[in-house]
């Protein structure tokens, strides 16, 4: 089980029925209702997609100044430099603006920092190099908003700067000719969630003027869509328009490098959604920046030569495979280090090594945060200096945490969920101690637990069809604020489990009633899954259409699997019967007979319980615990599995004072009590009542 807690939505039946009555499919209606969209008007508004951006780019503060200075540079034949960032958003922003300027006849330089050598953002060395190449105007994209000193340096060289960015601003803005950022406090632009490439797109639309907006948007929306998805921006408002239109235009884009990358990734000619962009295309572009070759990705997107594009796409995919191998090696090394941490060092994972690749530690930090349900701090060491990347978990504020340790750091930056820092190697141990203490104090001793948000359980499995699954595409594009729908199937049976992909993934056959489903669980092995055929489980999953050898079927792409917290019909009947015994209700002879239990029959349950609790307390989900308890007691005593008796045994042991048992919802808390002398189990009132009733009937 990957997630300790599943938050399963429960949309009201009447809301789902109302939307179905308006013509929306069952699954689509269920997701809409689960997300609070419960009226026909609200559904129509949410599902409607704008075909163009309707907010004038000129509403951004300083956009008029930016347009005026750039147009003058174009007209006067100045050399313009575009300064970007090494992630997907920065690369697509750079290519977008530079392509427009070159098509206007401008001489245009490009500078994308190298992640390891240059670090993030503007640098005086890079600015000097651009100035030496004749640049008199520099346009920043996806960076620059905090580069006050660097902009001042550019000004001292006689170079004007236009800043375009989408990150949070400091109290004092750079002294640039124009600072275009919707996060400026004095910026009236109503949509604040554009990616850097979204702001770059707005700049190009403003430069082209109203008469050319449609044509420019058609050319550049695909680049902007890729950057917006990769930067995990909120998928609403203008972002939704950019991504919707960009995905639709993608098969016909003029950027041959995009086609070459789709082909190399095996996506050419296939339907492309935000999922493929986010999990297939973007990582390949991002790999270039992580591995210190961001210019390779920019070259790919800029080239007009199909042969050159194919070569660059191959190199980019090779880099991504290299990045994956490096990531796996770092993950394995980090996991081994975690195994040797003391318990007080596991509230926040602070790990370091001279062997780790600086460009990849951030991805690994994300993996570790998800796996261990805590903030992770991964530090690359070189020459006595550590460069760290950290990722949050459960909403923990990383920026505030780093602030609390700032006297141990040489510098830090970022935001609540992701940040970077520099630290002297000799301070790492002290940083680990203080950060772990800070996390425990901040969380009040209650560390975040891994939680999965599930839109709704599938109440009617028989109603699933290819058409139903395909209708979910109306919710696209997915992203932050509009995640891909997650469903749950509760109380399903595992009919078969089969390793696939050299044992790296699992294929499962599931059933519920007469319904049968194929499922795939990526990056999970048999040992990790620990679910065998014949198990009763709950599964959380995405629904997808799978075509294999000409056959198209529904497939469940599993996100998590757990022993079922939903009783079978027989288990529900057993628990109801036990409740009647505990409440003193009248029982039939047949019911009493099912409950009859001797001391000898209870002994195996006690032995198993002692093994469970030899180390102290035990907390577990009630139904999975009772099923396992019944199986192990049967193996211990050589008898048959008896779910009812396992539940009764706990109640008897508790009543006799041997066991402390409490319930919080469906969670059981158990621990053994200290007792002196022998305890007469047969004197338990529940058993006495059953014996007396049997004697009376006889």
Domains of the chain in start order, with CATH, are: 5-48+455-563 (2.40.50.460), 57-254 (3.90.1640.30), 341-451 (3.10.310.30), 569-697 (1.10.10)
Strand-pair partners of 660: 671
Strand-pair partners of 575: none
CA–CA gap between residue 23 and residue 17 (Å, rounded): 10
pLDDT band (50, 70, 90) for residue 146: confident
Q: pTM to 2 decimals?
A: 0.85
CA–CA gap between residue 40 and residue 696 (Å, rounded): 63
Beta carbons of 286 and 366 less than 8 angstroms apart: no
| Average confidence (pLDDT) over 554-581 | 94
Q: Check whether 460 has a pLDDT greater than 60.
A: yes
pLDDT band (50, 70, 90) for residue 526: confident
CA–CA gap between residue 455 and residue 441 (Å, rounded): 33
Beta carbons of 115 and 292 less than 8 angstroms apart: yes
CA–CA gap between residue 537 and residue 519 (Å, rounded): 13
Beta carbons of 11 and 30 less than 8 angstroms apart: yes
Beta carbons of 480 and 233 less than 8 angstroms apart: yes
Q: Check whether 237 has a pLDDT greater than 80.
A: yes
Full strand arrangement of the beta sheet holding 411-414: 349-353, 376-382, 385-391, 418-424, 411-414
pLDDT in the model for residue 198: 97
Beta carbons of 358 and 321 less than 8 angstroms apart: no
pLDDT in the model for residue 184: 93
pLDDT in the model for residue 445: 65
pLDDT in the model for residue 318: 93
Kind plus residue range of the DSSP H or E element containing 342: none
The CA-based diameter of the chain, rounded to the nearest angstrom, is 111
CA–CA gap between residue 558 and residue 509 (Å, rounded): 12
- Listed in order, strand segments (DSSP E) in 367-432 are 376-382, 385-391, 411-414, 418-424
Q: Check whether 698 has a pLDDT greater than 60.
A: no
CA–CA gap between residue 129 and residue 127 (Å, rounded): 5
CA–CA gap between residue 630 and residue 644 (Å, rounded): 8
Burial of residue 291 (number of CB atoms within 10 Å: 0-12, 13-18, 19+): buried
Q: In terms of pLDDT, which residue wins out, 480 or 129?
A: 129
pLDDT band (50, 70, 90) for residue 667: confident
């Amino acid at each position: 089980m990957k997630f300790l807690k599943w938050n399963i939505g429960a949309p009201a039946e009447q809301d789902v029925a109302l939307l179905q009555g308006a013509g929306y499919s069952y699954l689509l209606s269920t997701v809409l209702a689960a997300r609070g969209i419960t009226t026909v008007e609200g559904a129509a508004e949410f599902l409607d997609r704008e075909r163009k951006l309707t907010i004038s780019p000129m509403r951004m503060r300083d956009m008029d100044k930016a347009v005026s200075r750039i147009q003058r540079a174009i007209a006067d034949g100045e050399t313009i430099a575009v300064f970007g960032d090494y992630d997907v958003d920065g690369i697509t922003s750079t290519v977008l603006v530079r392509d427009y300027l070159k098509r206007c006849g401008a001489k245009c330089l490009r500078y994308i920092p190298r992640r390891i050598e240059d670090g993030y953002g503007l640098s005086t060395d890079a600015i000097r190099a651009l100035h030496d190449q004749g640049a008199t105007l520099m346009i920043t994209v996806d960076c620059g908003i905090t580069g006050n000193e660097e902009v001042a340096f550019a000004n001292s060289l006689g170079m004007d700067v236009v800043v375009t960015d989408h990150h949070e601003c400091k109290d004092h803005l750079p002294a640039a000719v124009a600072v275009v950022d919707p996060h400026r406090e004095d910026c009236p632009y109503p949509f604040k969630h554009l990616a850097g490439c979204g702001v770059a797109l707005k700049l190009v639309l403003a430069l082209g003027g109203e008469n050319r907006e449609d044509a420019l948007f058609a050319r550049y929306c695909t680049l902007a869509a890729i950057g917006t998805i990769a930067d995990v921006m909120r998928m609403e408002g203008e972002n939704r328009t950019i991504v919707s239109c960009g995905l639709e235009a993608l098969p016909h884009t003029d950027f041959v490098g995009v086609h070459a990358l789709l082909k190399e990734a095996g996506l050419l000619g296939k339907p492309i959604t935000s999922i493929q962009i986010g999990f297939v295309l973007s990582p390949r572009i991002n790999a270039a920046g992580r591995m210190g070759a961001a210019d390779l990705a920019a070259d790919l997107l800029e080239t007009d030569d199909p042969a050159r594009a194919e070569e660059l796409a191959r190199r980019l995919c090779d880099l991504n495979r290299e990045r994956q191998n490096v990531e796996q090696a770092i993950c394995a090394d980090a996991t081994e280090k975690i195994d040797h941490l003391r318990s007080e060092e596991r509230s926040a994972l602070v790990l370091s090594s001279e062997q780790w690749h600086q460009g990849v530690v951030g991805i690994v930090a994300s993996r570790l945060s998800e796996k261990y349900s805590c903030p992770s701090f991964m530090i690359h060491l070189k020459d006595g200096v550590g460069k760290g990347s950290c990722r949050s978990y459960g909403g923990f504020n990383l920026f505030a945490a780093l602030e609390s340790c700032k006297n141990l750091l040489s510098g830090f930056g970022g935001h609540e969920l992701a940040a970077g820092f520099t630290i002297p190697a000799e301070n790492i141990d002290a940083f680990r101690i203080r950060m772990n203490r800070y996390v425990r104090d901040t969380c009040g001793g209650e560390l975040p637990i891994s939680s999965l948000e599930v839109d709704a359980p599938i109440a009617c499995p028989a109603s699933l069809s290819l058409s139903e699954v395909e209708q979910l595409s109306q919710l696209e594009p997915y992203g932050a604020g509009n995640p891909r729908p997650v469903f749950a199937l509760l109380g399903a049976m595992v009919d078969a489990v089969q390793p696939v992909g050299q044992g790296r993934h699992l294929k499962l056959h599931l059933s519920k009633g007469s319904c049968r489903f194929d499922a795939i669980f990526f990056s999970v092995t048999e040992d990790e899954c620990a679910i065998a055929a014949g198990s009763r489980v709950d599964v959380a999953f995405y629904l997808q259409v799978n075509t294999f050898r000409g056959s198209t079927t529904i497939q469940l792409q599993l996100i998590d699997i757990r022993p079922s917290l939903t009783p079978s019909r027989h288990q529900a009947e057993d628990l109801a019967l036990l409740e009647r015994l505990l409440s003193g209700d009248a029982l039939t002879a047949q019911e009493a007979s099912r409950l009859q239990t001797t001391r000898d029959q209870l002994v195996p349950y006690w032995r198993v319980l002692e093994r469970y609790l030899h180390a102290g307390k035990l907390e577990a989900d009630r139904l999975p615990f009772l099923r396992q308890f019944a199986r192990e007691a049967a193996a211990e005593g050589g008898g048959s599995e008896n779910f009812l008796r396992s539940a009764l045994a706990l109640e008897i042991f508790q009543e006799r004072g041997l066991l402390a048992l409490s319930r919080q919802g469906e969670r059981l808390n158990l621990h053994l009590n200290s007792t002196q002398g022998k305890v007469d189990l047969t004197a338990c009132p529940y058993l006495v009542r059953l014996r007396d009733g049997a004697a009376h009937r006889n």
